[in-house]
């Protein structure tokens, strides 16, 4: 008798999957107030993480961007009091890579270096006396 039952009859249907997913979502996102949703990756101060928008200007951001294939581009922003041209020249000489200085309307002067230079830049900056707590590494 069991051989006559098709295989798809024993698998869960889409509606049961949807019900299980909605129950998981309700259990995961508990509501503390009727109109407030708590997000798991938001900062504690604000429901949407908007409390630290102005404080991001104090950090030095080092990011990596994927180009084509295995090629990457490292960007550095947030160094307002340092000479960007001299810093770029030192980076290019120290890391043996090419780089350029880009003027962005929103971000100001951004240093772009070829390759993944994130760790090298962070150690270079900490050796020069910049606190490690002000350096933010981003990327994959």
Strand order in the sheet with 72-77: 99-104, 108-114, 72-77, 60-66, 135-137
Residues in the chain: 140
Question: 78 with 123, same domain?
Answer: yes
Question: 48 with 58, same domain?
Answer: no
**C-alpha pair distances (Å), 59 with each of 5, 28, 62:** 63, 32, 10
- What is the domain range of residue 23? 7-52
The tens-digit pLDDT sequence of the chain (140 residues) is 455 555 555 555 656 666 666 655 655 555 545 556 555 555 555 444 444 444 445 899 999 999 999 999 999 998 877 888 999 999 999 999 999 999 988 888 999 999 999 999 999 999 988 999 999 999 86
* CA angle 75–59–124, rounded 5-degree value: 60
Cα 88 from Cα 99, distance rounded (Å): 7
Give the CB-side neighbour count of residue 75, counting CA atoms within 13 A.
Answer: 17
59: which 2 tokens? Answer: 């950090």
Question: 58 with 48, same domain?
Answer: no
Question: 77 with 131, same domain?
Answer: yes
Neighbours of 91 (CB within 10 A): 20
**Which residue in this structure is represented by tokens 């947030």?**
78
């Amino acid at each position: 008798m069991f051989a006559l039952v098709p295989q798809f009859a024993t698998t869960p249907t889409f509606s049961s999957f949807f019900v299980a997913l909605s129950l998981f979502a309700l259990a995961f996102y508990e509501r503390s107030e009727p109109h407030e949703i708590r997000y798991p990756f938001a900062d504690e101060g604000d429901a949407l993480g908007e409390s630290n928008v102005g404080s991001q200007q104090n950090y030095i951001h080092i990011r990596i961007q994927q180009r084509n294939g295995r090629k990457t581009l490292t960007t550095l922003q947030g160094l307002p009091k340092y000479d960007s041209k001299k810093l770029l020249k030192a980076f290019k000489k120290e890391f043996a890579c090419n780089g350029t200085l880009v003027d962005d309307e929103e971000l100001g002067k951004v240093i772009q270096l070829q390759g993944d230079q994130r760790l090298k830049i962070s150690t270079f900056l900490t050796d020069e006396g910049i606190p490690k707590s002000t350096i933010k590494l981003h990327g994959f």
